Homo-oligomer: A and B are copies of this chain.
Amino acid sequence: MAEQERVWTAALVVIGDEILSGRTQDKNVAQLASWLNVQGIRLAEVRIVGDREDAIVKAVNTLRARNDYLFTTGGIGPTHDDITVDAIAAALGRGVVHHPQALAVLERYYETRGGMTDARARMARVPEGADLIENRVSGAPGIHVENIFIMAGVPHITAGMLDRLTGTLEGGRPVVSGTIGCWVAESEVADLLRATEKAHEGVSIGSYPFFRDGRTGANFVARSPDEAVVGTCLAALTAALEADGRVVVPGGI
- A: residues with CB less than 8 A from B are 14, 17-27, 29-37, 42-50, 55, 77-81, 113-114, 117-120, 122-123, 137-138, 154, 175, 177, 185-188, 190-191, 193-194, 197, 204-211, 216, 221, 223
Q: Tell whether, in the assembled complex, residue A190 and residue B138 are in contact, meaning their CB atoms are under 8 Å apart.
A: no
Q: Given contacts A81-B204, A194-B79, is CB(A43)–CB(B20) below 8 Å? A: yes
Most buried by B among A30, A44, A223: A30
Minimum CB–CB distance from A193 to chain B (whole Å) comes to 5
Q: Given contacts A47-B45, A77-B187, A78-B190, is CB(A29)–CB(B26) below 8 Å? A: yes
Q: Given contacts A113-B185, A119-B190, is CB(A206)–CB(B17) below 8 Å? A: yes
Q: Tell whether, in the assembled complex, residue B29 and residue A46 are in contact, meaning their CB atoms are under 8 Å apart.
A: no
Q: Tell whether, in the assembled complex, residue A23 and residue B77 are in contact, meaning their CB atoms are under 8 Å apart.
A: no
Most buried by B among A22, A30, A77: A22
Q: Which of B22, B33, B122 contacts A37 (CB 8 A)?
A: B22
Q: Given contacts A45-B20, A45-B49, A208-B24, is CB(A197)–CB(B154) below 8 Å? A: no
CA distance in complex: A119, B47 (Å): 32
Q: Which of B23, B118, B154, B211 contacts A206 (CB 8 A)?
A: B23
Minimum CB–CB distance from A67 to chain B (whole Å) comes to 12
Q: Tell whether, in the assembled complex, residue A187 and residue B123 are in contact, meaning their CB atoms are under 8 Å apart.
A: yes
Q: Tell whether, in the assembled complex, residue A197 and residue B80 are in contact, meaning their CB atoms are under 8 Å apart.
A: yes
Q: Tell whether, in the assembled complex, residue B31 and residue A22 are in contact, meaning their CB atoms are under 8 Å apart.
A: yes
Closest to A35 in B: B22
Q: Which of B14, B30, B119 contacts A187 (CB 8 A)?
A: B119
What chain B residues lie within 8 Å of A177 (beta carbons)? Answer: 21, 23
